[in-house]
A and B are shown apart, each in its own frame.
Chain A
Amino acid sequence: QSVLAQPPSASGTPGQRVTISCSGSSSNIGSIGVNWYQQVPGTAPKLLIYNDNERPSGVPDRFSGSKSGTSASLAISGLQSEDEADYYCAVWDGSLESRLFGGGTKLTVL
């Protein structure tokens, strides 16, 4: 069981907006920026959002991140079939001196 809690699954239809949550604690999400990764099955993870809400070059602005207290969220607007993938939140935990990944959320585009 992950220290960072994510829903195991999420779904939406093309064009919809979906959000994926990530719940942690004051020693991780509450203290430092959260990162989000997208992983299409069979491929390496790809950085989607870093430092809560910043996008690396090349990531569409349909993807956005936010944080409030000890919870973070990834929002995907204008859902597309190519967005079907697994999504992971990640953050450094100062108490554990360890980087943590959430359990992952499988996004299905219906």
Chain B
Amino acid sequence: EVHLVESGGGLVQPGGSLRLSCAASGFTFSTYSMTWVRQAPGQGLQWLSYISGSSGIIYYADSVKGRFTISRDNTKNSLYLQMNSLRAEDTAIYYCARDMGVTGADDYWGQGTLVTVSS
């Protein structure tokens, strides 16, 4: 059974940094692209970043380009999101998801981890 478990969220001051992790199990992690999506309180879904199975292809949303870095360690079946220069508007639940490889559809999602940026 596919499982995705995010961790690393918490309270951070504006301008600070945080590294999110997503532990994957139940599938051959290296053969799937992965994505990060967030949802601010009471708001809709916002796509953040995509990474291919080999890490050879990476995309970012304009809102996080230059501040967030996606990466993965296929030996550890783990996905990461390094978040720097955090702003209040980055406060959200952050989800990792598996890209099923068809039209960018994410077929499995983690439960999410909450990031709160506040002084």
User: Is B a genuine binding partner of A?
Assistant: yes
Q: Which B residue's beta carbon lies closest to that of A52?
A: B103
- Interface residues contributed by chain B, number (CB under 8 Å): 23
Is A51 in contact with chain B by the CB < 8 A criterion? Answer: yes
Chain B contacts for A46, CB-based, 8 A: 109
Q: Is the CB of A44 within 8 A of B110?
A: yes
Contact with B along A57-70 (1 / 0, CB 8 A): 00000000000000
Is A104 in contact with chain B by the CB < 8 A criterion? Answer: yes
Chain B contacts for A102, CB-based, 8 A: 44
- Shortest CB distance B65–A (Å): 10
- Interface residues contributed by chain A, number (CB under 8 Å): 30
> Bound state CA distance, A98 and B58, in angstroms?
11
Contact with A along B89-111 (1 / 0, CB 8 A): 00000010100101111110111
Is B88 in contact with chain A by the CB < 8 A criterion? Answer: no
- How many residue pairs, one in A and one in B, have C-beta atoms under 8 Å apart? 72
Is A24 in contact with chain B by the CB < 8 A criterion? Answer: no
Contact among B35, B45, B46, B112 with A37 in the assembled complex (CB-CB below 8 Å): B45
Q: Is the CB of B106 within 8 A of A47?
A: yes
- Shortest CB distance B103–A (Å): 4
14 A-B residue contacts at CB 8 Å?
A: A35-B103, A37-B45, A37-B106, A44-B95, A45-B106, A45-B109, A46-B109, A47-B100, A47-B105, A56-B107, A96-B62, A99-B59, A99-B104, A100-B47
B residues whose Cβ falls under 8 Å from a Cβ of A: 35, 37, 44-47, 50, 59, 61-62, 95, 97, 100, 102-107, 109-112
